[in-house]
């Protein structure tokens, strides 16, 4: 336990699943009491069992429970919680929620509302990056819903282009447009999708970089004008713009490019006086090693454990201390990078169709061993509800080298038993065993290549059987 004064006496965690468990554990290690909130569908969830107190905040639908701001504030007031940690997803980047917390005398464990508003609008964040000479992907400076203006921007940028949502993330509404003739149709589809998901139909246009890599830099700042980086993560291995495998450090990256990315992230963070943890996301062109800022996530990331494993830091604890007004407990020169860490996201879903597979967990055995970490909220006989994200576990492995980390992860996945439901473990193993991945030649379309190879193998087997 830290020798510093407690940051808070009691914290309410406005989330569920593995991230709620992660935050609860960090609070308990700091000696801070915790309050779990839950929907009626999560009454038996692990985060409810681990917290000191729990409050039911509504029915299963997230809109009536985990997104219900009045219910969350009422729960915090009723239990005497001094602070709220939003985890990730749900209300973690909702500036209005953070503002309401402040108005009620409750500390929001995250960045300031103005930073969330500033960086949460991708078009504004892009203009800010350009102002501070951080490279950005060629794209439209303005955002909106006018298809004619957007098409004109696309012609100026040059096809293929990427249509992206101003609000939200997770690949919602993202469309690759190869030809001008298909632009209007895809623009309309994207606008309707993002309005349904985020309540804002605004879009903007970027140049599409083929076989790009997705590399992000973790920063953390405090209210004492300190901003540092904790290195980068490669999150290129994705399906439908949802990350599946993340690792740190990023493979096949020169020291010069790595240092330049770190410097640009810290520079942008300092330019706005950023506090709390945040992640700056970049596209990297593997052909030129040029990198381009695309957005900033003003929250804790799902993949934060890989950074913790190679830096031996606790990002969640540091986030809590910073929210309490304390300075960072380390300086940039204190941060060193040891070995290589890989994280895989284990989802309760069909590994190839991605159809969710909720249900009763009938037998559960998590992997273990030196350098193996499991972040999960499931247990034997736990019933995975059908109302939320399909992520049920994260496995993180650290080795002295990338090759050792991959091998350790393959062993961990083969050991991991989650009975009763279908998971994506077979797909994760295929990714790790893929020669391109093993060589570090990762990119955002790697999964498409793997799927195409599997189709060709199946076709050859069918021809062989016919003969």
What does the CA dihedral 212, 388, 98, 376 come to, rounded to 10 degrees?
Answer: -80
Q: Give the pair of three-digit tokens for residue 57.
A: 């905040």
Phi, psi of 284 (to 5 degrees): -115, 125
Count other C-beta atoms under 10 Å from residue 157's C-beta: 18
Q: Does residue 160 have a cis bond before it (omega within 30 degrees)?
A: yes
Per DSSP (E only), the strands in 318-366 are 340-347, 359-360, 364-365
* Residue of 429, 350, 444 lying closest to 390 (CA atoms): 350
Note whether 378 and 362 are within 8 A (CB).
Answer: no
Q: Which of 16, 22, 258, 299 is catalytic?
A: 299
Distance from C-alpha of 342 to C-alpha of 249, rounded to nearest angstrom: 9
Q: Where are the alpha helices (DSSP H) in 209-254?
A: none
Note whether 305 and 316 are within 8 A (CB).
Answer: no
* Residue of 318, 317, 279 lying closest to 299 (CA atoms): 279
What does the CA dihedral 386, 165, 241, 175 come to, rounded to 10 degrees?
Answer: 110
Count other C-beta atoms under 10 Å from residue 379's C-beta: 13
Q: Give the pair of three-digit tokens for residue 361.
A: 């967990």
Active site residue 117: no
* Burial of residue 445, with CB atoms counted within 10 A of its CB: 0-12 exposed, 13-18 middle, 19 or more buried: middle
Distance from C-alpha of 329 to C-alpha of 228, rounded to nearest angstrom: 11
* Burial of residue 159, with CB atoms counted within 10 A of its CB: 0-12 exposed, 13-18 middle, 19 or more buried: middle
Per DSSP (E only), the strands in 91-144 are 107-108
* Residue of 137, 23, 185 lying closest to 90 (CA atoms): 23
Q: What is the 3-state secondary structure (H, E, C) of 62-106?
A: HHHCCCCHHHHHHHHHHHCCCEEECCCCCCCCCHHHHHHHHHCCC
Q: Return the active site residues.
A: 299
């Amino acid at each position: 336990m830290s020798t510093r004064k407690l940051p808070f006496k009691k914290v309410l965690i406005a989330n569920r699943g593995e991230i709620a468990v992660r935050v609860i554990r960090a609070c308990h290690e700091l000696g801070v009491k915790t309050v779990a909130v839950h929907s009626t569908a999560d009454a038996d969830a692990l985060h409810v069992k681990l917290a000191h107190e729990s409050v039911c905040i509504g029915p299963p639908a997230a809109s009536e429970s985990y997104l219900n701001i009045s219910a969350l504030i009422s729960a915090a007031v009723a239990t005497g919680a001094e602070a709220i940690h939003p985890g990730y997803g749900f209300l973690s980047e909702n500036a209005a929620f953070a503002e309401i917390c402040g108005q009620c005398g409750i500390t929001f464990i995250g960045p300031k509302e103005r930073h969330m508003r500033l960086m949460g609008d991708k078009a504004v964040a892009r203009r800010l990056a350009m102002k501070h000479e951080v490279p950005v992907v060629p794209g439209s400076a303005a955002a909106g819903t006018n298809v004619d203006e957007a098409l004109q921007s696309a012609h100026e940028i040059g096809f293929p282009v990427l249509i992206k949502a101003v609000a939200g993330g997770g690949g919602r509404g993202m469309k690759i447009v190869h030809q001008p003739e298909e632009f209007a149709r895809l623009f309309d589809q994207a606008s309707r999708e993002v309005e349904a998901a985020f309540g804002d139909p605004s879009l903007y246009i970027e140049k599409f970089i083929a076989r790009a890599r997705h590399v992000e830099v973790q920063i953390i700042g405090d209210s004492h004008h300190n901003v540092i980086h904790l290195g980068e993560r490669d999150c290129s291995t994705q399906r439908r713009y949802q990350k599946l495998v993340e690792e740190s450090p990023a493979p096949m990256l020169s020291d010069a490019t790595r240092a330049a990315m770190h410097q640009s992230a810290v520079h942008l963070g300092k330019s706005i006086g950023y506090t709390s943890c945040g992640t700056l996301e970049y596209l990297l062109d593997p052909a030129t090693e040029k990198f381009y800022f695309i957005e900033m996530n003003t929250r804790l990331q799902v993949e934060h454990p890989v950074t913790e494993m190679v830096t031996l830091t606790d990002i969640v604890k540091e986030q809590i201390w910073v929210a309490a007004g304390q300075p960072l407990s380390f300086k940039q020169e204190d941060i060193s990078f040891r070995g290589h860490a890989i994280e895989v996201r284990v989802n309760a879903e069909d590994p190839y169709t991605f159809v969710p597979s909720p249900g009763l967990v009938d037998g559960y055995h998590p992997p273990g061993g030196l350098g193996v970490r499991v972040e999960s909220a499931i247990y034997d006989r736990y019933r995975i509800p059908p109302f939320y994200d399909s992520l049920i576990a994260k496995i993180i492995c650290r080795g002295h080298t990338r090759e050792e980390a991959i091998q350790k992860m393959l062993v961990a996945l083969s050991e991991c038993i989650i009975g009763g439901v279908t998971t994506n473990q077979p797909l994760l193993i295929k990714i790790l065993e893929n020669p391109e991945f093993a060589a570090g030649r990762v990119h955002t379309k790697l999964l498409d290549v793997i799927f195409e190879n599997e189709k060709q193998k199946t076709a050859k087997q069918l021809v062989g059987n016919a003969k």
